[in-house]
Structure 1
């Protein structure tokens, strides 16, 4: 029995999603692990720069960097939304692939509500613990 290794290649015509996903993943890792540490230049949050309020995604880059270092506590401190949305997104993807539109629509609605609630709550003083902060 032989394995046809040529079928596993990153051929853009056979596997365009795999090629694009791999390219984005590699580009993201290069940005996070090389560009930011070497230059110190990050992409700022335009919403925060203009309004002074935290958006639901503020701190997400730092949270992913902390996860790459396996520092889950600090990742949670930067953006706890990541820990809520990621399992829901995985469940949504599975429901979508299994062609369960009602379940996938409900999960997408819940993700939208949780994201909007997170964006609103993290700017209220009583929920300051949701704002992106570092260990002090």
Structure 2
């Protein structure tokens, strides 16, 4: 019985290695956010922010992910609004890649890179302070 299960698992892993790696990376991320951070209070600091004092496009992503796991969409948006724009665009990019729409997918990826750079620059200006990773008062 156990050998049948192992052989089926090996076959499934060989057919879908990306799915297996995705599962393990997702499980590791979940453990990091739900177990490691609350117990140790040791997060990964943003090197860019530590050196320059400016916010990079990724600042606040870990806190946003933790808020999303608690279904707190408003707080997640306050930590990093870029996620809410890029996640659906990336899903569209994956669909375009699967359908082999190369030009469209490349244009979309270029647009996502430009949006990310603009977001990183704008969130450091006082007029766009609402883009900085902040918590609700």
Which residue of 1 is the match for residue 119 of structure 2?
A: 118
Cα distance in 2 for partners of 1:6, 1:100 equals 38
Partner of 1:9: 9
What does residue 97 of structure 2 align with?
Answer: 96
Using the size of structure 2 for normalisation, the TM-score is 0.91
Unaligned runs of at least 5 residues, structure 1:
none
Unpaired runs of 5+ in structure 2? Answer: none
TM-score normalised by L of structure 1: 0.92
Moved over 6 A (4+): 5-8
Q: CA deviation at 1:15?
A: 2.1
Deviation, structure 1 residue 106:
1.1
- Length, aligned pairs only: 133
CA RMSD of aligned residues (A): 1.8
- The residue aligned with 1:55 is 56
Query: Corresponding residue for 1:69?
Result: 70
Shift of 1:12: 3.5
Structure 1 or 2: larger helix share?
Answer: 2
